[in-house]
Every structure is written in C-alpha cells, then in structure tokens.
Amino acid sequence: MTTEFTGQRPQTANLEDPLYYLSNMDTIVSWVADHRADLLTEREQTRLATFAKLATGPRALLTRMVMRTGELFRADKLHYPELPVPEAEALKLLVQEGWLDNSPELSLDDLFRLFTLAELRPVFGGWLHQQGHPKTLGKAQMRELLAEAFGEPRPLGHWLAEAVGEQAPEVVQLQDMALFDRIRLMFFGNLRQSWTDFVLVELGVQQFEPVPFTPESRAFQHRSEVDSYLQMNQCRERLDQGEPATEVWAEVPGPVDNPWLTSRRDRLLLELGRQAERQGERELALKAWENSGHREARLKQLRLLERMKRFEQAWAIACQWQTAELSDAEAQGLARLLKRLAPKVGADKPEPVDNPTLREFTLTLPKPDTGTVELAALRHLGSDDAPVFYVENTLINALFGLLCWPVIFKPLPGAFFHPFHIGPADLTRDDFVARRQQAFEQRFRLLETGAYRRDILDTFQTKQGIANPFVFWQVLDEALLELALHCIPPGHLDALFRRLLNNIKEHRSGFPDLIRLVPEADDPEQRYEMIEVKGPGDRLQDHQVRWLQFFARQGIPASVCYVRWQDDEASL
C-alpha cells in the first residue's frame, strides 16, 4: 500500500487553538497507529487506542505531561487553564485508567527536584540538627549530607508524613513514557527532536514535498530494529552523562543489517571512542574507531596510533586508506599524517600536493558609512553589462537542489518518516549518495543535453515555496536563475555538483560571496566569475581555500578580492 500526503498539513493544529498541542499529538499517534502498527505489541496498540478514546481534558493533560521533562509531577503545580475540566478531575481519571501512578516511590534526588528548600527543611531539619548541622544549610549541602542515610526510595507519604501530615501534595508518575518515546522515534526517526519541535517548527508556516510512504521505504522493518535504536540511544545518553566508556561498550548493539541503523551505530562508536580516549582507555578508543564506519573515525584512529608511537600500524592503515575515495578534508588530514609518519617508518616522504595558485586582486575603496564589505565590493565591481550578485552559498546549492529535486525526495528506507520533512533524514550520512548514485547520474545527464535549463526553471515554478535543504526561496530570483544558467557552462555545473555530493555536510558552505555574470562575453567559459571578498584583517578559511583550489584545477573562474579602506591607508 502507498500513502501519499500533499505538501499541506494533514489534520494538524491551528496554532490559535489553545489545544493545538493535543491536535498535533493526535496526529502523531494516529500516524504511528496507521503506518507502524506491525512494529507495536498488542498491548501498545491497545494503549494507543485507549489514548485516542480519552476525553479531551484528560488527554490534553496527559499530552502536556508527556511533552515536559521527566516522569514525576506535583499535582498542585499542574496549571493549564485551557483544559475544559479542572486538573484534579483529569488527574483522577488518568489514575483510574492507569496512565498515572499516584503513589510512586521517590528517591532522595526525586524529592529534591520536586520540592523547595523551604518545604524540605521541616522534613529533615530535625535530623540534621541532631547530627550537629545548622538549620540554615543550602539545598545542595543538605542533599549531600542526607545521601548516605536516606538512600532508599520510598513513597511520598513516608518522606513527608511527619512534617506536613495530610497536607502533603500529591505526586504522580507517568506510566507509559517508554511507549510515547517509541512512537516519537517512529514518527521523527530520531529521539533528538521533541514534541515541541513538531508543534513550533515542523508545522509552522512551511510547505512540504509530498513523498509516498510505502512498506519498502520504511526505516524500521522489524520491531527489533526499533529496539536496537532505543538501545543505542540509551548508550549515547549514558556517555553524555559521563559514564565510563568501558561500561557502555558492553551494551552497544552488534552490527545490524540495516544501512540507516548502521550509520547510527557508526556515530555512536565514534563518540564512544572519543569518550574512551578522554578517560584514558586508549585501546578501547582504537577498537571503537576500528569498528566504526564513520568518515571521521579512521583519521582519529590513525592520530591516536601516532600518539601511542605505533607508527608501523598507523602507516599500514593510512596507506591502505589512501586508496579510498576521500573528501578534501580527509585527504588533507591524511596527507599531513603520512608526511609525519614517513620518517618514523623509514619511508620516503609523500610528494607534496601541488596546489594551484589562487587568483587574487586588491581593491582600495572609500569606507562606507553603512553596509558590509561584500556590498561595498559588489557596488564597485558591478556594471550594466556585468552585474554582480551577492549569492554566497545560495546559488550553486539552489541550482543543484532544483535539478536534483526528484532524487533528494526519493523515498528510500530511512529517508522520510512523516509528511513534514524539510529534506531526507539521511542527507549528511556517508551513504546518502551511494544509495542514489544511479538516480543522480540520470539527472546529471540532463547537463549534457541542454535540457537542464528548462528543467530547473520549471521546477522553480512548480515547487515554489516547498521546503528543500538546498533551496532558500527567500533569496532566489527567477531572473538571476535564468542569467546564471545562461552564463555558467554545464560542464562547470557538473563539476560543482559532483564535489558538493562528495561531502554534503562540508561542501554546502565555503562558496564565494559574489558572482559576476557577463552574458555577452564571447568565450562561454568567461561569462561569469565567482569572487570571495575579504575585508581588512580577514583571511580565508580552510574550507574556502579548498573550494578555491578546486575552482583553479577545474578551470572555473574564481578569485579573492582583498578590500582595503582609503582612510586606513591614508593614516599609514
């Protein structure tokens, strides 16, 4: 079965509705129930059906609690005036239906999170005084002194009974938070995004590309894969909390036959290796990076081997890795490493990379009262016959995004989880291009036939305003697109697009600030020039240098414009 959603928001909230958050929760629950039911247990399916049948007031209150941090709440602190019934009435029903536990056991830490110092002093003041401590202790000091004597969890009544008697406020605990985390994962495709992200960002004022959702395009095909993701997420949380990497390593799931989950595991092992190295567990760090397929892991492994003076091992791995297809940053890092290792292993130093000379020129301009150095250069360099535009990272990215629109939104497993994606979830994953290589090649063949111009302009018209991770509609102009397509040769676009795909995360930025278009130039390859502008004291960044070197090798016209202010020179 294929379900396709339009770019409009299906059954989502009107943000003027005070219960907008409930409408969005209902959308998520129904989406998962309709599209991921086979990944839920019978009990989970029943609970979601029960949730959908709850009256509006209790369902809204439960949603509010799910969206907040933690699972424990004081009943007297839950104030939501938009609810159609009193909070106490909604809480009572949620307890009866098993969504809340109104007598949970609380640890000392729980108690100190839920209650103020003024509320806790009557509870522990007498005991502390008997131990010889003043009654004016701060909350942190009090907690530290109580930790050993009051280490066991107990019901709230046992903590507060002697101090406040029957006036103790009720504390309730969510009972199905794991289920809500599971459906959040199956909807968003990650646990980084929260319910608030869905309400305030994903459904703001954006239009989305309609993507067909088929059983084959799902990221999770089996419940065990959801379990594996959740286990990896727990491992990452434990690392973030500072737990020893050696303990977390034992809980990392093994390799999985799922490319999308494999990439998640690779990132987890990358971070585990970082933590292990910081904690002095160098052998574990090497093992984690050796087992990680993340593109950053290999260089980290080699640098650590170098620090451990295991030069022969590092050299062997580096020489083997050198034959792989590398991004510019990887190649640069590897070249520096090989240069350092060569004398340590008695090998000849690698031939230095012959980097091309960059085209540069200097402008001395009056310092403007307002505006940036880029705009000052633009006004000076532009003319009626050769207009200059401030485009930075927008133009080439947009041309690529418009040409390759069908490939970017190809419904592959792990790419789209719900109808509200700005772009594919695997966009910056190492295998993003490999999984779509043939489809990209088909689009690039349009550059050979000349059909690309009409295709890009048609897409600009038909997709106007729809979210695309490469297209920034607010700065795009059809006249600029037409002029750029006339001036930039298709062979140059092919080279630019292929480098962009070599490392999307890194190469989407670093493009020159300006582009000068010369539509009447006799030489088709001289109808444009990209210009990076640097003001006084500014210098090129590494990723900008790599782009400029690439331009020089490819014969793409580009230069660096160094701007100096006349007032500054006059004062020298």
What is the secondary structure of 410-431 as a DSSP string?
---TTT-SSTT-SS-TTTTSTT
Instruction: Count the neighbouring beta carbons within 10 Å of the beta carbon of residue 276.
Output: 26
Q: Quick one: average pLDDT of 265-285?
A: 96
What is the per-residue pLDDT across 281-294, written as a single tens digit (0 to 9) for each?
999 999 999 999 88
Question: Residue range 155-174: average pLDDT?
Answer: 76
Rg, Å, the chain Cα set: 30
Question: Which helix (H) or strand (E) segment is 293 a member of?
Answer: none
Residue with tokens 């059906």: 49
| 304/422: higher pLDDT | 304
pLDDT of the residue at 568: 61
How would you label 309-318 residue by residue, b for 16+ Cβ within 10 Å and e otherwise? Answer: eebeebbebb
Q: Residue 540 above 60 pLDDT?
A: yes
Identify the residue with better confidence: 189 or 287: 287
Average pLDDT (89-102) is 96
| Mean pLDDT confidence for 349-366 | 86
pLDDT band, residue 169 (cuts 50/70/90): confident
Q: Alpha helix (H) ranges present in 189-327? A: 195-197, 223-240, 245-249, 259-278, 282-290, 297-307, 311-321
* 241 φ/ψ angles, rounded to the nearest 5 degrees: -85, 0
**Higher local confidence (pLDDT), 395 or 129:** 395
Who wins on pLDDT, 537 or 400?
A: 400
Provide mean pLDDT across the span 168-193: 89
- What is the average pLDDT across 188-200? 71
DSSP 3-state of 273: helix
Better pLDDT: 20 or 559: 559
Tell me how far apart the alpha carbons of residues 322 and 17 are, in angstroms, rounded to a whole number: 58
CA 132 to chain centre: 52
Q: Is 349 exposed, middle or buried (0-12, 13-18, 19+ CB in 10 A)?
A: exposed
pLDDT in tens, 493-531: 999 999 999 989 889 999 999 999 999 988 877 899 999
Alpha-carbon gap, residue 99 to 91, rounded angstroms: 9
pLDDT given at position 200: 44
| pLDDT value, residue 191 | 84
Residues 218-249 have pLDDT tens digits of 778 889 999 999 999 999 999 999 999 999 99
Nearest Cα to Cα of residue 514 among 403, 410, 361:
361
Neighbours of 551 (CB within 10 A): 25
Contact between 366 and 565 (Cβ < 8 Å): yes
Q: How far apart are CA 202 and CA 218, in angstroms?
A: 20
Q: Which CB contacts under 8 angstroms, 24+ apart, belong to 332-335? A: 332/542, 332/546, 333/299, 334/299, 334/302
Dihedral of alpha carbons 562, 563, 568, 569, sign = positive
Position with higher pLDDT, 354 vs 563: 563
- Is 152 in a helix, a strand, or coil? coil
Kindly indicate the confidence band of residue 118, based on its pLDDT and cuts at 50, 70 and 90: confident
Mean of the per-residue pLDDT values of the chain: 88
Residue 50 has pLDDT above 90, yes or no: yes
17 contact partners, CB below 8 Å, separation of at least 6? 23
Q: How confident is the model at residue 6 (pLDDT cuts 50, 70, 90)?
A: very low
pLDDT for the residue 151: 84
In this prediction, residue 161 carries a pLDDT of: 65
Quote the pLDDT of residue 42.
Answer: 94
| 270, 292 contact by CB (below 8 A) | yes
Any idea how long the chain is? 572
Amino acid at 410: K
Backbone φ, ψ for residue 141 (5° rounding)? -65, -45
Ranked by mean pLDDT, the top range of 128-142, 162-176, 250-264, 450-464 is 450-464
Structural contact between residues 502 and 329, judged by C-beta atoms closer than 8 angstroms: no
Which residues, other chains included, contact 276 with Cβ-Cβ below 8 Å and sequence gap of 6+? 245, 246, 249, 282, 284, 285, 288
**Phi and psi, residue 399, nearest 5°:** -60, -40
In this structure, the number of other CB atoms found within 10 A of the CB of residue 272 comes to 27
Whether pLDDT at 3 is above 50: no
Q: 247-267 burial, b for 16+ CB within 10 Å, e for fewer?
A: ebbeebbeebebbbbbbbbbb
* The overall pTM is greater than 0.85: no
Strands 558-565 and 360-365: parallel
Cβ(189)–Cβ(414) under 8 Å?
A: yes
Q: Rounded mean pLDDT of 58-82? A: 94
pLDDT grade, residue 265 (50/70/90)? very high
Residues in CB range of 388: below 8 A, 6 or more apart: 378, 381, 382, 514, 515, 516, 517, 531
pLDDT value of residue 205: 56
Phi-psi category of residue 456: left, alpha or beta, with phi > 0 → left and psi -120 to 50 → alpha: alpha
Question: How does residue 351 score in pLDDT terms, banded at 50, 70 and 90?
Answer: confident
| Coil, helix or strand at residue 219 | coil
Summarize pLDDT for 316-334 with one digit per residue, the tens.
988 888 666 677 778 878 8
| Contact partners, residue 227, CB within 8 Å, separation at least 6 | none
Q: Over pLDDT 70: what percentage of the chain?
A: 92
Residue 310: pLDDT above 70?
A: yes
| pLDDT value of position 428 | 87
pLDDT of 197: 63
Residue 7 clears pLDDT 50, i.e. is over it: no
Q: Structure tokens of 396?
A: 């080439």
Report CA-CA distances (Å) from 316 to 95, 304, 306, 335. 63, 14, 12, 14
The tokens describing 314, both together, are: 């590092």
Amino acid 82: pLDDT: 94
Q: How far apart are CA 267 and CA 262, in angstroms?
A: 9
The predicted pLDDT at position 163 comes to 52
Q: pLDDT value at position 165?
A: 46
Q: At what angle do helices 223-240 and 177-188 cross, to 10 degrees?
A: 100
Q: How confident is the model at residue 469 (pLDDT cuts 50, 70, 90)?
A: very high
